[in-house]
A = this chain, B = another copy of it.
Amino acid sequence: MNTLPTVLAFDVFGTVVDWHGSIASEVTRLGLQVNPDAFATAWRQGYRPAMAKVRSGALPWTKIDDLHRLILNDVLDDFNIQGLSENQIHHLNLVWHRLNPWPDTVTGLNRLKKQFTLVTLSNGNLGLLANMAKNAALPWDLILSAEVFRHYKPDPETYLGVAQIFDIEPSAVMLVAAHKDDLASAYECGLKTAFIERPLEFGAKVTRTDLHVETYINYHAKDFIDLADQLGT
Name A residues whose Cβ lies closer than 8 Å to a Cβ of B: 65, 117, 119, 125-127, 129-131, 133-134, 141-144, 147-148, 165-167
- Among residues of B, the one whose C-beta sits closest to the C-beta of A90 is B167
- Among residues of B, the one whose C-beta sits closest to the C-beta of A133 is B141
Residues of chain B contacted by A129 (CB below 8 angstroms): 142
Q: Whole-angstrom distance from the CB of A228 to the nearest CB of chain B?
A: 17
* B126:A130 contact, CB within 8 angstroms: no
* B127:A167 contact, CB within 8 angstroms: yes
- CB within 8 Å for A142 and B143 given contacts A130-B117, A130-B119, A165-B127: yes
* B117:A142 contact, CB within 8 angstroms: no
Residues of chain B contacted by A166 (CB below 8 angstroms): 127, 130-131
Residues of chain B contacted by A134 (CB below 8 angstroms): 117, 141
A143 vs B167: C-alpha distance in the bound complex, in angstroms? 17
* B127:A65 contact, CB within 8 angstroms: no
Q: Whole-angstrom distance from the CB of A150 to the nearest CB of chain B?
A: 10
* A65:B167 contact, CB within 8 angstroms: yes
Q: Whole-angstrom distance from the CB of A36 to the nearest CB of chain B?
A: 26
A144 vs B148: C-alpha distance in the bound complex, in angstroms? 10
- Among residues of B, the one whose C-beta sits closest to the C-beta of A167 is B127
A131 vs B119: C-alpha distance in the bound complex, in angstroms? 11
A148 vs B148: C-alpha distance in the bound complex, in angstroms? 6
